Amino acid sequence: VEPLNVSEYEQLAAGLLGAAAYGFFAGGADDELTLADNLEAYRRWQLRPRVLVDVAEASTAASVLGEEIAVPLLVAPVAYQRLAHPDGEVGMARAAAAVGTIMCLSSFATSSWEEVAATDVKRWFQLYVPKDPALAAELVAHVRAAGFGALVLTVDTPVLGRRERDLRSGFEIPEHLPIGLLGPGRFTPRSAFEAISPSVTWSDVERLASRSELPIVLKGILTAEDARLACEHRAAAIVVSNHGGRQLDGVSASLDALPEIVDAVAGRVEILIDGGVRRGTDVVKALALGARAVLVGRAPLWGLVVGGEAGARRVLELLRDEVELALQLLGCRRIAELSPAHLAPRERR
Ligand SMILES: Cc1cc2nc3c(=O)[nH]c(=O)nc-3n(C[C@H](O)[C@H](O)[C@H](O)COP(=O)(O)O)c2cc1C
C-alpha cells in the first residue's frame, strides 16, 4: 500500500535499508537529545485557526533570495544519497524540480554536479571548505559555472559531531560511490571529513561572497549573537539549524531558537529553518514564527529510499498538499498571511 505520510515512508525505508545505512541517515549525535527535541518543539505550539474566509483560491507560492518557488519547502543538503537509492542526488533533483522548488546539493554528493545541473533544477551548493586552498578556489569556480544560484556555507560543522550509531555499526561509504569533493576511495563519515577545514571564520564569509559573486547562505545559526554577525558579514540568508541533531547534542531545537533570531535580524536577511519538519502543519508553524521557508532533510530522503525519484517526489507532493490544506484550514489564502497570531504555546500537562 502507498504510504500516506512521512512517518510511513520512514517505516518502509527502515525495512529496506541495511541497519548501518539506516542508522547513518536517521541518527544524531551523542544521546540524540536535540534530534528528538527538533520534532517535539513543533508539538509545543498549537494552531489558532480563523474561520469564514474564502479559501477557494489558496496558494502555497513563495520566494527565497528572489527565486520563485511553488511551496516554501527546499530540499536540504544530505550527503551520500546514492546510498539511499541508485537514483541518488539526480533523482532528488528531478523530484525537487517536479514540485517547483530548490535543491541544495551537498559537498559530499555521490552524483556529479554536472549530472545534477543537467536536470535543470533550481539549485544551491552546500559548501564545506576544503583544507586545500587550491581545491577550495577551484570548487567555487566550478559551482558557479554549473549554474548553482547560491552557496550554502554550513557553519555548525568545523569538526564532525560524534554519532555513536555509526561508530557501533562501523558504517562506511561503499567504495563504488565516489564522493564529489574527494573522488573514489574508502571512507567513513569521519575520515571523509578530514579533508575539511576546521578554521573557517567570519572573515572568510566576506571573502567567499566577493570571490564567488554568489549570495551566501549561512546554515547552522542558533543564536541571536551569530544572527547579528551574519547580517554584518554580507550573508544573504541564514538557516536556523542544528544539522538535524547530528552536531552538538543538547542545543535547542531549531524551532525554539527561531524567535530570538527573528528579533535580532529585524528583516535584514532572509531566515530559513530546518530540523524536525515532518508535516505541513510543522511548515506553517515555522512560517508563522517568522521563517521565510523551511528545508527538509530526512523527509524526502525516506521517499528516495522507498521509491527513488518518484518516491522523493511523492513525499514533497504530500508535504506540499499538507501545507495547502493547513493554510486553508487556518483561514489563509497566501503564505504571507501567516503570522504569530496563528499560534499559541501549548499548555504543559
Ligand atoms: C543523512 C544526513 C546527511 C546530511 N548531510 C549534510 C551535508 O552533507 N551537509 C550539510 O550541510 N548538512 C547535512 N545534513 C543536515 C541537513 O542538511 C539538515 O540540516 C537536516 O537534515 C535537517 O533536519 P531533518 O532531517 O530533521 O529535516 C545531513 C543530514 C542527514 C540526515
- Residue from 142, 233, 243, 342 carrying the catalytic annotation: 243
Q: How far apart are the C-alpha atoms of 14 and 194, rounded to whole Å?
A: 29
243 carries an active-site annotation: yes
For atom 10 of ligand 1, the residue with the nearest CA is 77
Whole-number Å distance, alpha carbon 297 to ligand 1 midpoint, is 5
Atom of ligand 1 nearest to the CA of 220: 19
Whole-number Å distance, alpha carbon 290 to ligand 1 midpoint, is 22
Atom of ligand 1 nearest to the CA of 38: 26
- pLDDT computed for residue 304 by the predictor: 98
Whole-number Å distance, alpha carbon 248 to ligand 1 midpoint, is 13
Whole-number Å distance, alpha carbon 88 to ligand 1 midpoint, is 15
Q: Which residues line ligand 1 (CB under 6 A)?
A: 24-25, 38, 76-79, 106, 108, 126, 154, 219, 241, 243-244, 246, 274-277, 296-298
Query: Mean pLDDT, 10 residues at a time, over the chain (349 residues)?
Result: 96 97 98 98 98 98 98 98 97 98 96 93 97 90 94 98 96 88 85 95 94 96 98 98 98 98 98 98 98 98 98 98 98 98 86
Atom of ligand 1 nearest to the CA of 39: 26
- pLDDT computed for residue 348 by the predictor: 63
Atom of ligand 1 nearest to the CA of 154: 11
In the numeric block, which cell numbers belong to residue 337? Answer: 498571511
Whole-number Å distance, alpha carbon 76 to ligand 1 midpoint, is 6
- pLDDT computed for residue 349 by the predictor: 55
For atom 5 of ligand 1, the residue with the nearest CA is 78
Atom of ligand 1 nearest to the CA of 242: 19
What's the sign of the alpha-carbon dihedral 180, 139, 271, 222?
positive
- pLDDT computed for residue 299 by the predictor: 98
State the Cα torsion 97-5-171-155 to the nearest 10°: 60
Q: How far apart are the C-alpha atoms of 130 and 124, rounded to whole Å?
A: 18
For atom 3 of ligand 1, the residue with the nearest CA is 78
Q: How far apart are the C-alpha atoms of 344 and 106, rounded to whole Å?
A: 36
- pLDDT computed for residue 32 by the predictor: 98
Whole-number Å distance, alpha carbon 52 to ligand 1 midpoint, is 40
- For the chain, what is the HEC assignment? CCCCCHHHHHHHHHHHCCHHHHHHHHCCCCCCHHHHHHHHHHHCEEECCCCCCCCCCCCCCEEECCEEECCCEEECCCCCHHHCCCCHHHHHHHHHHHHCCEEEECCCCCCCHHHHHHCCCEEEEEECCECCHHHHHHHHHHHHHCCCCCEEEECCCCCCCCCHHHHHHCCCECCCCCECCCECCCECHHHHHHHECCCCCHHHHHHHHHHHCCCEEEEEECCHHHHHHHHHCCCCEEEECCHHHCCCCCCCCHHHHHHHHHHHHCCCCEEEEECCCCCHHHHHHHHHCCCCEEEECHHHHHHHHHHHHHHHHHHHHHHHHHHHHHHHHHCCCCHHHCCHHHEEECCCC
- For 261-275, what is the HEC assignment? HHHHHCCCCEEEEEC
Residue to mutate, 7, 35, 40, 78, ligand 1, most ligand atoms under 8 Å from C-beta: 78
**Integer angstrom CA distances of residue 205 from 30, 209, 230, 265, 291:** 29, 6, 9, 17, 22
Q: How far apart are the C-alpha atoms of 5 and 152, rounded to whole Å?
A: 28
Burial of 120 (0-12, 13-18, 19+ CB in 10 A): exposed
Whole-number Å distance, alpha carbon 160 to ligand 1 midpoint, is 12
**Do 294 and 286 form a contact (C-beta atoms < 8 A)?**
yes
- pLDDT computed for residue 186 by the predictor: 86
Residue to mutate, 246, 247, 255, 273, ligand 1, most ligand atoms under 8 Å from C-beta: 246
Q: How many CB atoms lie within 10 A of CB 128?
A: 22
- pLDDT computed for residue 347 by the predictor: 80
Q: Is the pTM of this model over 0.75?
A: yes
For atom 11 of ligand 1, the residue with the nearest CA is 154
